[in-house]
Amino acid sequence: MPKLPADLYRRWIETAFPPPAFHDGFIPPERWLQQIWRHQRLLRDALRTIEGEELRVLHPGFWNRAAGPDFRGAILRFGESTVVRGDVEIDLVPAGWKGHRHAVNPAYRNVVLHVVWDADQDGTGRPALALRGHLDAPLAEMAPWLSAEAPRTLPEGVRGQCCGPLRALPADTLDELVRLAALARLERKAEAFAARARHAGWHRSLWEGLLGGLGYRNNTWPMRRVAELVGPGDAPAPEDLEGAQASLLGVAGLLSAEPPRRNPARFRALWDRWWRDRDRFHGSILPVDAWRLGGMRPANHPQRRLALAAHWISGRPPFGAIDAWMAAGGDAVSASEALRGILGAGADPFWERHWTLGSASLEIGQPLLGMARATDLAVNAVLPWLLARATAGGDPAMRRRVEERYIGWPAGEENSVLRLARQRLLGGARRVLPRTAATQQGLMGLERDFCGHSDALCSGCRLPDLVGGWMAGAAP
């Protein structure tokens, strides 16, 4: 079997989902608008409603794929008003509100923002946002990423139609295909970093990406909002770790005025720093209900994650160290340990022994950054960011080095998305793919890129034919 061409996966995506012809009057499909809102691919610092009011998105809400508004539980701030909580409905045009009879449907009573593609008036009697003009990158640049949705809930234990053709591939060809899917995923993440860096700068874009990664699944948006408010250069003074922790926890709304029963002295030290500083953030402090604190592992508690992030803006800014780390050689395993050393905190006696400000002391100290989270930060933030910079700087040698490091990176933790992808794409076969993060990323990429366009029965999915065609020697 011939080696797969480096651009094969990209060609498959273009064949399966040909990009539309973009022109001035182009109107994207509604599901693109949902993806833009969901991932906030917006100039978040410059949002204005159609009515001309400043809009801050503290949380975009949770995507609702059942009946009712598109996003539930958003947290927004209009102008200088207090924080508003409610739902967000997305329609292509303002007339969609009446046309879809939302106005008379009680399920839409709690909609606090109507999002449309382009309009200069809305007429729903609610604040409205026109996305066109607020995107963080041109639509054509975002199109490959927008065209796939996060897969719907798919039945577990059911093999997809691609399972047979994929399992028929020689082992090294399957490995190569998964690797190409992983590289395509890396590229798309890099493009998102580049888009953010154009407006916020390289350091800021990495900082926001790192904090978003620390938010894990449920707290990505409040983490990113904190990162927009406090960042590199905002620590009260160099080496002032306590001041940086007070700022981050205070802006996050995670320092209540009431001291916890345990560790009151630690709380008081942070509070005393924060209350002198908090006027600076008047109106921006996140409400505590922006956070989802239930059902998470203690190590993922945002208080502890923000305590770690404070190290990055006080005594140990990682940006220069990351450049040096990339320039240094070494295999991916030693590089992953080294990156953990860069992103891991220096000495932090309190947070090494506590999950939260009010928790009991742990018998055995725990590092603020474990290897699993370091891997997440590497594949979702650090390496995409480095690739984006190498691309922007026209440095193909650096691009190659970043890709090699990504491909060799040790595997992270398994999750439900991965298990589902293995089952549907590979039938849960015990076939051995390399135990690397890139294998995991590639499987998740295939699922997002192809399953995201299809359904539980794989209706219309082109992947089985593309794989079968390649086996039979047919292009593409």
Contacting residues toward ligand SF4, per CB under 6 A: 160-162, 424-425, 450-451, 454, 458, 461, 463-464
Q: Which amino acid is at 174?
A: L
Nearer to ligand SF4, 169 or 425 (CB): 425
Closest approach of ligand SF4 to the CB of residue 129, in Å: 33
What's the 3-state SS for the chain? CCCCCCCHHHHHHHHHCCCCCCCCCCCCCHHHHHHHHHCCCECHHHCECCCCCEEEEEECCEECCCCCCCEEEEEEEECCCCEEEEEEEECCCCHHHHHCCHHHCHHHCCEEEEEECCCCCCCCCCCEEECCCCECCCHHHHHHHHCCCCCCCCCCCCCCCCHHHHHHCCHHHHHHHHHHHHHHHHHHHHHHHHHHHHHHCHHHHHHHHHHHHHCCCCCHHHHHHHHHHCCCCCCCCCCCHHHHHHHHHHHCCCCCCCCCCCCHHHHHHHHHHHHHHHHHHCCCCCCHHHCCCCCCCHHHCHHHHHHHHHHHHCCCCCHHHHHHHHHCCCCHHHHHHHHHHHHCCCCCCCCCCCCCCCCCCCCCCCCCCCHHHHHHHHHHHHHHHHHHHHHHCCCHHHHHHHHHHHHHCECCCCCHHHHHHHHHHHCCCCCCCCCEHHHHHHHHHHHHHHHHHCCCCCCCCCHHHHHHHHHCCCCC
CB of 427 to ligand SF4, least distance (A): 10
Residue closer to ligand SF4 (CB basis): 223 or 451: 451
Which one, 387 or 446, has the nearer CB to ligand SF4? 446
- CB nearer ligand SF4, residue 122 or residue 449: 449
Closer Cβ to ligand SF4, 162 or 326, answer by number: 162
Nearer to ligand SF4, 354 or 448 (CB): 448
Nearest residue to ligand SF4 by CB is 160
The nearest distance, CB 169 to ligand SF4, in angstroms, is: 13
Q: Write down the least CB distance from residue 155 to ligand SF4, Å.
A: 11
Q: Closest separation between CB of residue 459 and ligand SF4, Å?
A: 8
Residues with Cβ < 8 Å from 135, sequence gap 6 or more?
A: 36, 41, 42, 43, 142
What's the one-letter identity of residue 132? R
| 292 in Cβ contact with 252 (< 8 Å) | no
Minimum CB–partner distance for residue 375 and ligand SF4 (Å): 25
By beta-carbon proximity to ligand SF4, the closer residue of 210 and 443 is 443
Cβ(4)–Cβ(176) under 8 Å?
Answer: yes
Give 12 or 291: the residue with its C-beta nearer to ligand SF4.
12
Q: Could you tell me the smallest distance in angstroms from the CB atom of residue 157 to ligand SF4?
A: 13
Considering Cα of 442, then 446, then 452, then 457, what sign does the dihedral take?
Answer: negative
Minimum CB–partner distance for residue 407 and ligand SF4 (Å): 22
Q: Nearer to ligand SF4 by C-beta: 82 or 459?
A: 459
Q: How far is the CB of 463 from ligand SF4 (least distance, A)?
A: 4
Q: Closer to ligand SF4 by CB, 161 or 300: give it.
A: 161
Smallest gap from residue 166 Cβ to ligand SF4 (A): 8
